[in-house]
Amino acid sequence: MDSSETAPVTVVAMLVIRTALLEIRQPGSSRREWAFLSNPCAMAAGCATPSLVSVGGWQAIGFAATAWAVLAGALVAHIVDLRTGPAEVRREDANDTHR
């Protein structure tokens, strides 16, 4: 594995570990954390981002651009879901943390 591929793989591993630790503390939290995968708007943004990032990045750093592009797409999809997610669900999640 090239050193430029190590960073995005490490970030993905940290996100998975974070999800697992949160699931241990609060059962059901991983379903809410990864709910962006079922949001069509978030997935459209998440799929568009890697294609745009990898076009320019492929010429600059080669195959490692794909790993960075996929990571960027997942983060964009997560952010888009936070903005378009139902306010009721966000309020319920906030109320669950104060128990």
Q: What would the pLDDT profile of 27-71 be if each residue is shown by its tens digit?
A: 888 888 888 888 888 889 888 988 888 877 777 777 777 888 888
| CA 77 – CA 41 distance, rounded (Å) | 8
Q: Is 2 helix (H, G, I), strand (E, B) or coil?
A: coil
Decide if pLDDT at 93 tops 60. no
CA distance 16 to 3: 21
Name the amino acid, one letter, at 24: I
pLDDT(16) > 80: yes
pLDDT score at 91 = 55
pLDDT at 67: 82
Give 26's DSSP letter: S
For tokens 């978030």, the residue is 42
Is a pLDDT exceeding 60 seen at residue 24?
yes
- The per-residue pLDDT for 86 is 55
d(CA 62, CA 69): 12
Q: What is the pTM of this model?
A: 0.66
